[in-house]
């Protein structure tokens, strides 16, 4: 995996400075603009195109909080691709009520009930996002002894948010 933090000369963080990210993006966009290499060999043009693409991917990752969290967790080895994370039982029990309501709504559509479920999921999401922001924003300042604990908590919240995203996809399909 390419290290976007190294590309942008930044320390690994869940909260990189947006002004520095933007500045680095524009500097690298200018440096690796394909038009500046039009008279170079095909190999150099291909390399520049690859660097330009990496720059764009890095900027997109740094600009999207959820994507950034996933990226940093992968970079730090906290999650692996296609990992099967077991969500805590208490969370799954809370979600069981919502899933049951969604199943009922699939068989017996009801606009009012659908709005209640959407509101309930939004409430869960808001609390989860607040907690996730709390942990990611202070990750950089905790001492090394507590970083792994903090990382585990962020990982758990990340997987919970993915679960809620799937519920939202189901809601979107229902109307």
d(CA 15, CA 153): 16
> What does the pLDDT read at residue 35?
86
Q: What is the pLDDT of residue 81?
A: 81
Averaged pLDDT, 65-74: 96
Residue 38 within a domain: yes
44 and 120 belong to one structural domain: no
Express each pLDDT in 90-102 by its tens digit: 999 999 999 999 9
Mean pLDDT of the chain: 93
**pLDDT of the residue at 83:** 85
The 10 Å CB-count burial string (b at 16+, else e) for 69-99 is bbbbbeebebbeeeeeeeeeeebeeebeebe
Q: What pLDDT, on a 0 to 100 scale, did the predictor assign at position 1?
A: 59
Total domains, the chain: 2
Q: 96 with 26, same domain? A: no
Closest listed residue to residue 156, CA positions, set 90, 98, 96, 93: 90
For 17, the domain range is 4-63
78, part of any domain: no
Q: Are 74 and 81 in contact (CB under 8 A)?
A: yes
CA dist 65 to 41, 74, 150, 168, Å? 38, 14, 17, 18
The CATH number of the domain holding residue 128 is 1.20.58
Phi and psi at residue 16, in whole multiples of 5°? -65, 150
* Interval 43-70 mean pLDDT: 95
Q: 93 and 141: one domain?
A: yes
Q: For the domain that residue 42 is a member of, what is the CATH number? A: 1.10.287.110
75 falls within a domain: no
User: Is residue 116 in a domain?
Assistant: yes
Candidate from 31-45, 52-66, 119-133 with smallest mean pLDDT: 31-45
């Amino acid at each position: 995996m390419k290290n976007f933090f190294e590309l942008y000369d930044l320390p690994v963080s869940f909260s990189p400075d947006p002004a520095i990210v933007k500045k680095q993006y524009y500097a690298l966009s200018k440096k690796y603009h394909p038009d500046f290499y039009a008279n170079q060999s095909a190999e150099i043009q291909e390399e520049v195109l690859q660097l330009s693409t990496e720059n764009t991917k890095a900027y997109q990752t740094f600009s999207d909080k959820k994507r950034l969290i996933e990226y940093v967790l992968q970079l730090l080895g906290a999650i692996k691709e296609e990992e099967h994370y077991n969500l805590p039982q208490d969370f799954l029990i809370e979600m069981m009520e919502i899933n049951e309501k969604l199943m009922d709504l699939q068989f017996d559509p009801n606009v009012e009930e659908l709005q209640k479920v959407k509101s309930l999921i939004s409430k869960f999401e808001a609390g989860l996002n607040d907690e996730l922001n709390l942990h990611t924003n202070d990750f950089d300042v905790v001492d090394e002894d507590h970083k792994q604990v903090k990382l585990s908590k962020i990982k758990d919240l990340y997987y919970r948010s993915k679960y809620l995203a799937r519920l939202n996809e189901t809601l979107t399909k229902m109307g």
